[in-house]
Amino acid sequence: MSMQPVLINGSWRTPENPIDTFQAVDPAKKEVLPEIYPVSSSEDVDEILAAGSEAAAQLRKLPSQKVADFLEKFADNIEGRAGELVEWANRETALPEEPRLGTVELPRTTNQLRQAAAATRDRSWCLATIDTGTNIRSKYGPLGGAVAVFGPNNFPFAFNSCAGGDFAAAIAAGNPVIAKANTGHPGTTRIFAEAAFEAVEATGLPKAMVQLVYRLKPAEGFKLVSHPQIGATGFTGSKWAGIRLKEAADKAGKPIYLEMSSVNPVFVLPGVLRERSAEVAAELFGSCSLGAGQFCTNPGLVVVQAGPESETFINQVAELFAANAPGALLGKNGPRDIADAIGVLTKHGAEVVTGGEVADGPSYAFKNTVLRTSGDAFIDNPDALQTEAFGTVALIVFAKDVAQMQAVAASMEGNLTGGLYSHSGGDDDDIYNQVEPVLRQKVGRLLNDKMPTGVAVVPSMNHGGPYPATGHPGFTAVGIPASMLRFGALHCYDNVRAHRLPAELRDKNPTGSVWRFVDGTWTQGDVGVK
């Protein structure tokens, strides 16, 4: 099998002597796949950065609707290759072809791209702000360099570095993208890059608008995110890798947005347990086992108040976890990583109620696992007991009273989400009012009577949260247009002559419908017209 090509500055290149190579694995069969992928060199990174920077400069001269055209054409191209994409992603990740890949994740991905295109056409995302008294005008504009995107293993489509949410947001905000494939699904990513590059050519965008590498040694990764020619970085993946990239980017003053880890605590209050314990148990199992538990928003930590109802609840939960076969994991490290995480939990006072072992079978799998511990133990070792097990694993914490539920919440790290299940009437209102203020500050998205795994692509979504869930509590990775602001620089124009202003900042509203903040009022009108 010949070496797979990378996409650098508009050409697909098959390196003759790469510095190293790797192969992906079919996790459903535990088989190494035949395609050989190159590890890219420092020289490749230099060339990619220079080309990305040049593309950024060229792009600024083109009308923004060409970017929208590209995003839509790319979405069409993806649909044209849907069968191939689903087949490859299934082969590389073991995620089910249906409904997950074909019916859920692929349409979500093209929908994101089309929403991004619509935002680019609409232009309101850039928050054009005009003060007529001083003739000072500002808006968000592109970063002046390409955006590096590192995608995770668990969403081969919707968070793919060459098609997913960060890709769409970075492009829609007017930046080229340098995609670093997740090494779990390089073949899937290559198809996306082909479909994207065809759309680049069809719509006349700069040829380095989309570039692709499969793997970098750590030093090259650090160089990429910290280089003067990079605009910013979007990273979704492990805390271990994310923190190292963050350090490199931070040191150079380059923005980096990371989505790293989260145990997504769910507080199940006493009233709702009395009311509908079995239902909540079923919702927990459904959410926790989605994608074999490999969701960033997987509910891995549940907090209840100790008592007979919560004993019933954990039995109901454990029964469901035990009765269902575990799903196939994404890669060969999955079972070991889950076992390691459970090892940390049990070492610090958690007990396995069910599961806790690698599952036999043709694919990589780990038995669905429920653990329990006390509020006292949790507060003694909050860091260890928040260890994320990336699978269908839930740790249930039994707090002795409401004060201890508060203390458990207070000892938590930043999370993407946090939830409170409460009685349908007012029975849990007092406890809710005591726990919610503490939990609120620890999470990006607060849920009520709902499990966290669904992440709707709507403007109000926050797929973000305080560190270490992400690197900054003010940004979201999902939800257009907000996610685009991560990849914008605030550009102010002071006393600049009218014909030299970007269209969005001229007196005349460029489309007749751009929302702009003019003299303190949001309006779609022209400046000077009441």
User: Between residues 265 and 464, which has the closer beta carbon with respect to a second copy?
Assistant: 464
Reported as half-sphere exposure (CB side, CA atoms, 13 A), residue 177 has a value of 33
| Residue 405: closest CA among 364, 363, 436 | 436
User: And the tokens for 423?
Assistant: 């009685």
Round to whole Å and give the CA distance between 70 and 74.
6
Give the C-alpha separation, 364 to 331, whole Å. Answer: 7
Of the two residues 86 and 505, which places its CB atom closer to a second copy in the complex?
Answer: 505
Q: What is the DSSP string of 105-120?
A: IHHHHHHHHHHHHHHH
HEC string for 163-185: CCHHHHHHHHCCCCEEEECCCCC
Which one, 144 or 307, has the nearer CB to a second copy? 144
CA–CA distance, 107 with 113 (Å, rounded to integer): 10
H or E stretch including 285? helix 270-288
259 is known as an active-site residue: yes
CA end-to-end distance (rounded Å), the chain: 67
The C-alpha atoms of residue 340 and residue 76 are separated, in whole angstroms, by 42
**Could you identify the residue written with the tokens 């947005």?**
257
Of residues 194, 259, 275, 388, which has the active-site annotation?
259
How is residue 351 written in tokens? 């007990």
Q: Which of 126, 162, 288, 296 is catalytic?
A: 296
Task: Find tokens 């692509």 and name the residue.
Answer: 457
Distance in Å, CB of 461 to a second copy, minimum = 6
Smallest separation, CB 198 to a second copy (Å): 28
Q: How far is the CB of 472 from a second copy (least distance, A)?
A: 6
The DSSP bridge pattern shows strands 256-259 and 129-131 to be unpaired
Using the minimum distance from each CB to a second copy, give the nearer residue, 38 or 141: 141
Smallest separation, CB 351 to a second copy (Å): 29
* Closer residue to a second copy (CB): 142 or 331: 142
> Taking the CB of residue 106, how many other CB atoms lie within 10 A of it?
21
CB of 44 to a second copy, least distance (A): 23
Integer-rounded Cα radius of gyration of the chain: 24
**Whether the Cβ atoms of residue 188 and residue 87 lie closer than 8 Å to each other:** no
* Closest to a second copy by CB, 138 or 189: 138
> Dihedral sign, CA of 55, 57, 62, 66?
positive
Instruction: State the nearest-atom distance from the C-beta of 47 to a second copy, in Å.
Output: 18
CB 368 within 8 A of CB 392: yes
Q: Is 126 a catalytic residue?
A: no
Strands 37-40 and 20-22, bridge-based pairing: antiparallel
Query: Which has the closest alpha carbon to 397: 267, 293, 262, 277?
Result: 267
For the CB of residue 456, give the shortest distance to a second copy in the complex, in Å.
Answer: 5
Question: In angstroms, what is the minimal distance from the CB of 484 to a second copy?
Answer: 11
For the record, the structure tokens of 277 come out as 């314990």
Q: Least CB distance from residue 330 to a second copy, whole Å?
A: 26
Residue found by looking up tokens 């054009």 in the block: 128
Of how many residues is the chain composed?
530
If the CB atoms of residues 36 and 496 are measured against a second copy, the closer one turns out to be 496
Catalytic sites, residue numbers? 259, 296
